[in-house]
Amino acid sequence: TACVDLVNNNPNAPIVSQACKTLASVAMWPSNKPLMASKGAIKSLVRAVQSVGPDNERMDDEALGSAFCGLCNCAEGNDANRNLIVELDVMKSVEYICENWTDPYVLASASKLICNLAYSNVYTAMSCLAAHCDEALNASIKKGGGDKNPDIQESAMMAFCNLSNNESNQTHVGASGAIKLAVVTLETS
């Protein structure tokens, strides 16, 4: 809970970043994933992502990318955590960040979060699409400079794949321009 307190209350961006990285490391172990929810770590990481804005100096690019990494690790292989992350309403912030940030670490980490949230979970995939995360992924690739940042490309393409986990989602993702963007990405890679 000390790391949760640091993420919630510390005004220093490097300390917030390190606390998020610690939570991300702890969340890698499957047995710790339920604890991440019950001890407030997921809620803390979501609040950190939601707090991003021009007046928040405690969340620099490194801290934001680390918070995304922590959420991504919490979501991996755990549907309860995926559902919780979506229900805590983080998707609007993810969309905003993907459309307004240029830092490659942040954009790749946000894309990986979308990827993990959508993996084999129709509810969370549909929630991502309802929050326009398909458009946010397109923006991430474009803002990341296309083939200049292969981590962003790879993460976004994996996210598109996971978002297409059922027939209605496939139509939605196809209509978003993701197919055209995937073809351009493959041609320039």
Q: Are 165 and 118 in contact (CB under 8 A)?
A: yes
Task: Give the model's pLDDT for residue 147.
Answer: 67
| Cα gap 128→27, rounded to integer Å | 22
CA atoms within 13 A on the CB side of 101: 29
| Cα gap 173→180, rounded to integer Å | 11
Helix locations, the chain, DSSP H: 2-9, 13-26, 33-38, 41-50, 61-75, 79-87, 91-100, 104-118, 122-130, 133-143, 150-163, 167-175, 178-188
Q: Are 9 and 28 in contact (CB under 8 A)?
A: no
Task: Give the model's pLDDT for residue 173.
Answer: 74
Q: At what angle do helices 104-118 and 133-143 cross, to 10 degrees?
A: 150
Q: One digit per residue, pLDDT tens: the chain, 189 residues?
A: 799 999 999 999 999 999 999 999 999 999 999 999 999 999 999 999 999 877 777 889 999 999 999 999 999 999 999 999 999 999 999 999 998 888 999 999 999 999 999 998 889 988 998 898 888 888 888 877 766 788 888 898 888 888 887 777 777 777 777 677 777 766 766
Q: Are 144 and 99 in contact (CB under 8 A)?
A: no
What size, in residues, is the chain? 189
Task: Give the model's pLDDT for residue 20.
Answer: 95
